[in-house]
């Protein structure tokens, strides 16, 4: 995938900046000074491809929601995609033209399986990471595995699996160190513990009998104690029930006595008391409401009678209101009448002054000549024309004087230059000599480099020590091909490894066979195992003795004199039978181990013989490989050792040959340049003669450069004189054209002056202006006329307003007097304003009286309705109360209050009596009320309390006895259970077998994990040899290129453990600690580029981004670095970011047009 363009639309310090990347360039260099945005542009590439980071640091100019990037990418198949990237959580990809949302996976065909992290680790390399790689090489001595894995990741998951299997095997079994946490040893300990417990778990008959009898006795005691505790609890419950029943009976007797003391009460239905009390309250409320409504009605009637009305005057309300409004308006106008009169006088005085200014007699003459607006507009245009003509006439005079002065100066300067020839032919000849100085310096540089290079190659050839006399002989010597030599060397190394591996395998098998034979001898030294017959006889003797003792143990017979001796014999028989069984079991295991040992020995002997055969085959194979190695070097009569020094020798020979061929090409180039330099000198001499310069000394070094400098100076002077003369001639031509233009302008002004004079004669007399007046005089007169027109309009408006005010005043007086006569009011002569105000005041009083009377009448009606309603409610309440008096059969309603109190007391007593009888019925263990009275007839409260105390003490004693019986029974049961568990020898035997199975499983898992880890280790080493060798080889060539041949490459020292990376120089393999800091950086760069090229062969490559890689590189190695990046650019796109201009120059020198440069 290639990046064709990057749009920094709103990102970091950039706004609408677009970078175009040349797809044909091998390397694109992006250069920017400090704070030019190089780091921002570098980060923008990653953000455009994989999304702007959640917490981006490039939002200092544009907010998050405004950040935007765009790009165009091209896939390996030629497909292109243009997109824009926005800063948001989802739907970040849009079309750059329409902002339509693009699919989230539209970049997947271009990015492949890479994410941001993989892209930066594989295809991103900045100065810090390059320096860190160099420091790792220096600090770690060049560990091959870490270095190459850092450059080309791929085996980390397999290595993790190998380590996990290895750790799992160690957790099961570690022959170097025993640990209690290892599975095999845990199983062995469990088996030994089970065997020990089988021997310990034995049970005696008398012990069993004693424990069981104790358990049965304790169970009976527990049952009796529980029954006694239950009986005591029931007695306590009965005593407490009698005491509570006595309290409730006393309450019942008291309520019955109180009920009897109330006497006879009327019989009423349920709810009578509550209903009568509610009706009494309603009657009192209705009576109070009726009295309150009657009082409010009387107050409303009095308020209505107190209102005085003037309804006849209300008929003139509209006329009175209009008259009052007219009064206010006329009063305002009369207040402004003096001001309006003064305005009239001021306007007439101003018009008179303007008339005098225009040369007229008075304001009447002025108003008589008042011009129309079109005439004034025509006069304005005429005045503007007069002013413009005056300005053009003045400018024309100044231009004439300036033209005459410039013409004199230019003619004088041109005459001083004289005749000047055209320098174009000389300039073309000089352009043909462009690069002559560089060619001369290149000849000198090539000569020096040829001498130094030849001396250096002869020195390197002598250090090889292979007997070749000179470089020509070395070029024709039939050295073997490097690839064939390395392949043969790998074959020889593999054969040697096979021999060492088979020799070690044979030795391991012999050692295992010796250990197996020693174990067999140890097993054969054990004692013989008991037979089945002996075990059966011992068990029969034990059973016979038990048969004699069983009736005694079960109580079927009494003890005899010989029973004690028989019991001792029985115990000895039991021990003997168990011992024989244990010995048989142990011996069975020994026999099984003996058979397994013999089988292992047979297998190990067969494996040893097979291993010896494979070893001999490997030795023969090694001899054949060594013969091929010797045959490979036979044509050059050399016999180097089959190690890494031979390929290093071939690389050095190839490097010397390559350098020798390069020197030959440089010599040919030098001769060509020398011929060009001679031709340049001849042409320089001819050109100097034509320019009148003295000849140059060819023997003087740098003569061409000095001669070219003088020629360039002479040509520059000639060209300057020629350009000056041409400019003067052009100036004279332009001045002549300006003179013609001035003549034409003079004629136009004369014609325009005549037209303005005719227009003035026609317009100015009508405005009292002289026909020959100047533009300023005419403008002043026009300004006076405009003031006069404004003041005349103001005068007319003021006079009209004064007349209107006087008309309105007379009409108002007539209207007010007529309205006063109609209302019957006395009017004062010539005081119409007072009449209007008095009429309005009378109207307001009449309106207020009418409003007050209406409100009083409405209030009276409302009070009447309220009083009628209150009377009806009072009558209804009285009727309802009379009905309840009749229901209680009372002669007088006043007796109702006393009856209500008696009925309430009777209801409360009945309620308390019912609650006490309910509580008495809820007491457990009691019968009816009469039965309770009989039960407590002869007892008082003290005797009942003593009965409760005695029952409680008896219950506590019974509970304590029950707890002791339960505890004793629990202990007896536990003893029985312990005895039963001790009888589990069969369970212990099963546990032993489980431990044996666990041992077998642990051995199987250990074998699986240990062998798998060994196989993965071998596979990893084989993979590294097959896949890392091309990386090392490619990195070796790149390193030689970067160092300009000072180091011939890199190689691996496999004699070290782990293998160590080294650098080749003069045929010797040196450690990385011999490298300088910059050379270590170059070594890591070579490894990184080689790994990327190898990775690109297996996956789609992305652009390689490099940021200031050449900080520790000198100029020569910087150019070599760009040539190396150019090779990488044939595989994938390479973009280099830098601050330094000399890096850009190095890229141009190294790659020429193949390097594209973008400046920020």
Question: Tens digits of per-residue pLDDT, 288-336?
Answer: 888 888 888 888 888 888 877 777 777 778 888 888 888 888 888 888 8
> What's the confidence (pLDDT) of residue 702?
63
Cβ-based neighbours of 548, under 8 Å, separated by 6 or more: 566
Most confident by average pLDDT, 247-251, 389-393, 505-509, 1146-1150? 1146-1150
> What's the confidence (pLDDT) of residue 530?
66
Task: Supply the pTM of this predicted model.
Answer: 0.33
For residues 864-886, average pLDDT: 83
Residue 220 tokens read as: 């009976």
Say whether pLDDT at 1036 is over 80.
Answer: yes
Q: Classify residue 531 by its DSSP letter.
A: P
Alpha-carbon gap, residue 15 to 724, rounded angstroms: 46
Alpha-carbon gap, residue 425 to 427, rounded angstroms: 5
- Of 2-6, 171-175, 813-817, 1141-1145, least confident by mean pLDDT is 171-175
For residues 841-869, average pLDDT: 85
User: Which residues are paired to 82 by β-bridges?
Assistant: 72
Alpha-carbon gap, residue 719 to 42, rounded angstroms: 48
pLDDT tens track for 114-159: 888 888 888 888 777 776 765 665 454 443 344 444 333 445 566 6
> What's the confidence (pLDDT) of residue 840?
82
Q: Are 863 and 297 in contact (CB under 8 A)?
A: yes
> What's the confidence (pLDDT) of residue 589?
63
> What's the confidence (pLDDT) of residue 93?
92
Which residue in the block uniquely carries the two structure tokens 């044996």?
996
Alpha-carbon gap, residue 697 to 688, rounded angstroms: 12
Alpha-carbon torsion angle 187, 190, 194, 197, nearest 10: 170
User: Which residues are paired to 73 by β-bridges?
Assistant: 3, 81
Q: Percent of the chain, pLDDT > 90?
A: 6
What is the residue extent of each domain of the chain? 205-268+908-981, 279-310+832-898, 508-626
> What's the confidence (pLDDT) of residue 884?
74
> What's the confidence (pLDDT) of residue 142?
41
Whole-Å CA distances, 886 to 31, 881, 883, 1065:
121, 9, 5, 141
Instruction: Indicate the SS3 state at residue 529.
Output: coil
pLDDT tens track for 412-451: 887 877 777 777 887 788 777 777 777 777 777 778 788 8
Q: Kindly report the backbone phi and psi dihedral angles of residue 923, in degrees, each rounded to the nearest multiple of 5, phi listed first.
A: -70, 125
HEC secondary structure over 588-649? HHHHHHHHHHHHHHHHHHHHHHHHHHHHHHHHHHHHHHHHHHHHHHHHHCCCCCCCCHHHHH
Alpha-carbon gap, residue 898 to 151, rounded angstroms: 115
Alpha-carbon torsion angle 280, 286, 290, 296, nearest 10: 120
Instruction: Please report which confidence band the pLDDT of residue 69 belongs to, taking 50, 70 and 90 as the band edges.
Output: very high
Say whether pLDDT at 595 is over 50.
Answer: yes
Q: How far is CA 735 from the centre of its chain?
A: 73
pLDDT tens track for 966-993: 888 888 888 877 766 554 444 555 676 7
Say whether pLDDT at 178 is over 70.
Answer: no
pLDDT tens track for 458-486: 888 888 778 777 888 888 888 888 888 88
Q: Are 61 and 12 in contact (CB under 8 A)?
A: yes
Furthest CA-CA distance within the chain: 187
Instruction: Please report which confidence band the pLDDT of residue 82 belongs to, taking 50, 70 and 90 as the band edges.
Output: very high
For residues 888-895, average pLDDT: 68
Residue 690 tokens read as: 């034509």
* Averaged pLDDT of the chain: 79
Alpha-carbon gap, residue 595 to 484, rounded angstroms: 55
Q: Which residues of 680-718 are buried (b: 16+ CB within 10 A; e: fewer)?
A: bbeebbebbeebebeebeeeeeeebeebbeebeebbeeb
> What's the confidence (pLDDT) of residue 518?
76
112: region left, alpha or beta (phi > 0 left; psi from -120 to 50 alpha): left
Q: Percent of the chain, pLDDT > 70?
A: 86
The total number of residues shown for the chain amounts to 1160
User: Which residues are paired to 602 by β-bridges?
Assistant: none
Q: How many CB atoms lie within 10 A of CB 191?
A: 17
> What's the confidence (pLDDT) of residue 926?
62
Most confident by average pLDDT, 628-637, 805-814, 971-980, 1030-1039? 628-637
Nearest Cα residue to 27 out of 888, 1160, 1153: 1153
Alpha-carbon gap, residue 1134 to 1105, rounded angstroms: 6
Q: Give the torsion sign (CA, 871, 872, 876, 882).
A: positive
Say whether pLDDT at 932 is over 80.
Answer: no
> What's the confidence (pLDDT) of residue 531?
65
Nearest Cα residue to 652 out of 1030, 1060, 1069: 1069
Nearest Cα residue to 1080 out of 1059, 1063, 1060, 1065: 1063
Alpha-carbon gap, residue 856 to 876, rounded angstroms: 31
Alpha-carbon gap, residue 1103 to 2, rounded angstroms: 6
Say whether pLDDT at 403 is over 80.
Answer: yes
What DSSP element (H or E) covers 990? helix 985-1042
Q: Which residues of 1127-1140 are buried (b: 16+ CB within 10 A; e: fewer)?
A: bbbebbbbbbbbbe
Q: Where are the alpha helices (DSSP H) in 634-702?
A: 645-691
Cβ-based neighbours of 547, under 8 Å, separated by 6 or more: none
Establish whether the linkage from the previous residue to 1058 is cis, with ω within 30° of 0: yes
> What's the confidence (pLDDT) of residue 85?
93
Say whether pLDDT at 575 is over 70.
Answer: yes
Nearest Cα residue to 645 out of 1051, 1057, 1032, 144: 1051
Angle between the 645-691 and 985-1042 helix axes, to the nearest 10 degrees? Answer: 30
Instruction: Please report which confidence band the pLDDT of residue 1058 belongs to, taking 50, 70 and 90 as the band edges.
Output: low
> What's the confidence (pLDDT) of residue 20?
92
Alpha-carbon gap, residue 39 to 1160, rounded angstroms: 11
Instruction: Indicate the SS3 state at residue 143.
Output: strand
> What's the confidence (pLDDT) of residue 152?
39
Would strands 1104-1107 and 124-126 be described as parallel, antiparallel, or unpaired?
parallel
For residues 681-685, average pLDDT: 80
pLDDT tens track for 1075-1127: 887 888 888 888 888 888 877 777 778 899 998 888 888 888 899 999 999 98
């Amino acid at each position: 995938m290639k990046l064709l363009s990057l749009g920094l639309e709103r990102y970091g310090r950039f706004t609408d900046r677009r970078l175009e990347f040349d797809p044909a360039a091998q390397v694109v260099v992006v250069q920017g000074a400090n704070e030019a945005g190089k780091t921002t542009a570098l980060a923008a590439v990653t953000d455009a491809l994989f999304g702007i980071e959640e917490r981006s640091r490039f939002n200092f100019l544009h907010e998050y929601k405004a950040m935007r990037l765009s790009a165009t990418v091209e896939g390996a198949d030629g497909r292109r995609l243009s997109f824009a990237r926005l800063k948001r959580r989802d739907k970040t990809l849009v079309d750059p033209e329409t902002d339509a949302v693009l699919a989230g996976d539209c970049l997947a065909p271009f990015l492949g399986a890479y994410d941001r992290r993989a892209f930066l680790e594989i295809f991103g390399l900045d100065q810090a990471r390059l320096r860190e790689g160099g420091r790792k090489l220096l600090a770690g001595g060049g560990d091959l595995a870490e270095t190459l894995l850092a450059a080309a990741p791929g085996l980390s998951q397999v290595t993790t699996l190998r380590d996990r299997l290895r750790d799992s095997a160690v957790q099961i079994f570690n022959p170097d160190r025993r640990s209690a946490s290892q599975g095999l040893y845990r199983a062995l300990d469990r088996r030994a513990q089970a065997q020990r417990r089988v021997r310990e778990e034995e049970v005696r008959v008398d012990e069993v009998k004693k424990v069981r009898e104790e358990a049965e006795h304790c169970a009976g005691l527990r049952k009796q104690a529980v029954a006694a505790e239950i009986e005591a609890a029931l007695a306590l419950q009965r005593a407490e029930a009698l005491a509570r029943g006595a309290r409730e009976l006393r309450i019942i007797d008291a309520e019955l006595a109180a009920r009897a003391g109330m006497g006879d009460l009327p019989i009423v239905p349920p709810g009578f008391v509550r209903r009568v009390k509610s009706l009494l309250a309603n009657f009192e409320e209705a009576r109070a409401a009726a009295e309150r409504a009657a009082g409010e009605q009387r107050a409303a009637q009095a308020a209505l009678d107190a209102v005085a009305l003037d309804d006849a005057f209300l008929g003139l309300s509209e006329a009175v209101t209009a008259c009052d409004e007219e009064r206010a308006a006329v009063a305002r106008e009369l207040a402004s009448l003096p001001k309006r009169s003064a305005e009239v006088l001021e306007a007439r005085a101003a018009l008179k002054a303007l008339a005098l200014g225009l040369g007229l007699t008075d304001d009447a003459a002025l108003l008589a000549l008042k011009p129309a607006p079109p005439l004034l507009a025509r006069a304005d245009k005429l005045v503007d024309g007069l002013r413009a003509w005056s300005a053009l006439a003045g400018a024309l005079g100044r231009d004439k004087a300036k033209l005459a002065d410039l013409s004199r100066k230019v003619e004088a300067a041109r005459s001083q230059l004289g005749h000047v020839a055209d320098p174009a032919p000389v300039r073309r000849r000089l352009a043909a000599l462009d690069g002559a100085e560089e060619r001369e310096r290149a000849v000198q540089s090539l000569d020096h480099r040829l001498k130094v290079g030849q001396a250096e190659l002869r020195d390197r050839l002598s250090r090889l020590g292979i007997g070749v006399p000179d470089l020509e002989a070395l070029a024709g010597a039939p050295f073997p091909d490097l690839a064939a030599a390395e392949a043969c060397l790998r074959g020889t190394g593999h054969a040697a490894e096979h021999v060492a591996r088979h020799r070690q395998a044979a030795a391991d098998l012999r050692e295992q066979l010796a250990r197996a034979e020693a174990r067999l001898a140890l097993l054969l030294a054990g004692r013989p195992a008991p037979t089945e017959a002996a075990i059966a006889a011992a068990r029969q003797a034990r059973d016979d003795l038990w048969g004699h003792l069983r009736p005694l143990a079960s109580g079927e017979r009494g003890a005899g004199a010989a029973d004690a001796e028989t019991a001792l014999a029985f115990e000895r028989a039991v021990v003997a039978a168990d011992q024989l069984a244990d010995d048989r079991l142990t011996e069975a295991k020994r026999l099984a181990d003996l058979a397994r040992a013999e089988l292992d020995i047979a297998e190990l002997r067969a494996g040893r013989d097979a291993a010896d055969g494979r070893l001999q085959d490997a030795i023969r194979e090694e001899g054949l490989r060594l013969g091929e190695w010797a045959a490979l070097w036979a044509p050059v009569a050399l016999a180097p050792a089959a190690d890494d020094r031979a390929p290093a020798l071939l690389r050095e020979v190839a490097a010397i040959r390559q350098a020798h061929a390069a020197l030959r090409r440089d010599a040919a180039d030098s001769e060509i340049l020398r011929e060009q330099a001679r031709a340049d000198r001849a042409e320089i001499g001819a050109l100097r003669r034509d320019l009148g310069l003295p000849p140059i000394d060819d023997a003087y070094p740098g003569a061409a450069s000095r001669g070219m400098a003088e020629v360039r100076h002479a040509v520059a002077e000639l060209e300057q004189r020629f350009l000056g003369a041409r400019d003067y001639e052009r100036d004279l031509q332009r001045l002549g054209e300006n003179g013609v233009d001035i003549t034409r302008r003079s004629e136009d002004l004369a014609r325009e002056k005549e037209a303005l004079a005719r227009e003035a004669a026609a317009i100015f007399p009508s405005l009292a202006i002289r026909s020959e007046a100047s533009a300023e005089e005419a403008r002043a007169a026009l300004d006076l006329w405009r003031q006069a027109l404004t003041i005349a309009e103001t005068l007319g408006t003021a006079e009209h307003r004064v007349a209107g005010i006087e008309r309105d005043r007379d009409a108002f007086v007539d209207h007010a007097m007529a309205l006063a006569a109609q209302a019957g009011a006395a009017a004062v002569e010539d005081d119409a304003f007072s009449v209007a105000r008095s009429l309005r005041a009378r109207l307001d009083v009449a309106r207020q009286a009418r409003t007050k009377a209406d409100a009083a009448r409405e209030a009276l009606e409302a009070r009447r309705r309220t009083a009628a309603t209150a009377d009806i409610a009072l009558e209804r309440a009285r009727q309802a109360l009379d009905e309840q008096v009749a229901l209680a059969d009372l002669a007088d309603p006043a007796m109702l209050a006393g009856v209500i109190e008696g009925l309430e007391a009777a209801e409360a007593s009945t309620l308390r009596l019912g609650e006490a009888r309910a509580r008495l019925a809820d007491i457990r263990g009691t019968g009816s009320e009469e039965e309770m009275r009989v039960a407590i007839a002869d007892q008082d409260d003290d005797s009942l309390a003593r009965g409760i105390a005695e029952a409680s003490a008896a219950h506590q004693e019974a509970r304590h006895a029950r707890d002791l019986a339960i505890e004793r029974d629990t202990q007896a049961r536990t003893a029985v259970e312990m005895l039963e568990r001790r009888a589990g020898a069969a369970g212990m035997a099963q546990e032993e077998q489980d431990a044996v199975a666990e041992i077998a499983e642990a051995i199987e898992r250990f074998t699986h994990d240990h062998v798998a880890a060994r196989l993965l280790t071998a596979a990893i080493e084989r993979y590294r040899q097959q896949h890392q060798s091309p990386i090392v080889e490619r990195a070796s060539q790149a390193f030689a290129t970067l160092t300009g041949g000072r180091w011939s490459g890199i190689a691996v020292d496999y004699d070290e453990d782990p293998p160590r990376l080294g650098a080749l120089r003069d045929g010797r393999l040196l450690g990385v600690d011999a490298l300088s800091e910059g050379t270590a950086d170059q070594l890591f760069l070579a490894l990184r580029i080689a790994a990327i090229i190898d990775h690109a062969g297996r996956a789609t490559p992305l652009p390689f981004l490099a940021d200031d890689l050449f900080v520790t590189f000198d100029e020569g190695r910087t150019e070599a670095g760009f040539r190396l990046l150019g090779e990488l650019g044939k595989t994938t796109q390479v973009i280099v970011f830098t601050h330094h201009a000399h890096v850009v120059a190095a890229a141009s020198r190294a790659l020429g047009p193949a390097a594209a440069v973008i400046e920020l």
